[in-house]
Amino acid sequence: MSMHNPAHPGEILKELMIEPLGLSITDTARHLGVSRKTLSKLLNGRGAVTPEMALRLEMAFGKPNAAHWLRLQNAYDLWQTRQQSVSIHVTPIEGYAT
């Protein structure tokens, strides 16, 4: 069963981790070893959780692990792409496509 409009991982990071700890974007960026601009883009849904960022999040917060952050990003990206699937033109391969 597919998820309906999953939250962007940056939104989850902000609402469930950064805000409850009372961290500022500047402080969090410093802990992660990234620029404030990079973190801000992620938190505002304009950037993606890369494998490197996922590992940084795991190292800084402990849990969830890097694989979880990547799964969240993948679910978000796939849902967004499915919303635009009418513009993807593919010819099904006989005997394989359902």
Check residue 93 and report its DSSP letter. P
For residue 52, tell me if it sits in a domain.
yes
The 10s digit of each residue's pLDDT in 43-95 is 999 999 999 999 999 999 999 999 999 999 999 999 999 998 888 898 989 88
Q: Let me know if residue 93 belongs to a domain.
A: no
Half-sphere exposure of 47 (CA within 13 A, CB side): 19
Buried-state track 27-43, b at ≥16 Cβ within 10 A, e below 16: ebbeebebeeeebbebb
Let me know if residue 18 belongs to a domain: yes
- Domain of residue 77: give its range: 9-83
Q: pLDDT tens for residues 1-51? A: 556 889 999 999 999 999 999 999 999 999 999 999 999 999 999 999 999
Structure pTM? 0.87
The total domain count for the chain is: 1
**Residue 16 sits in a domain of what CATH number?**
1.10.260.40
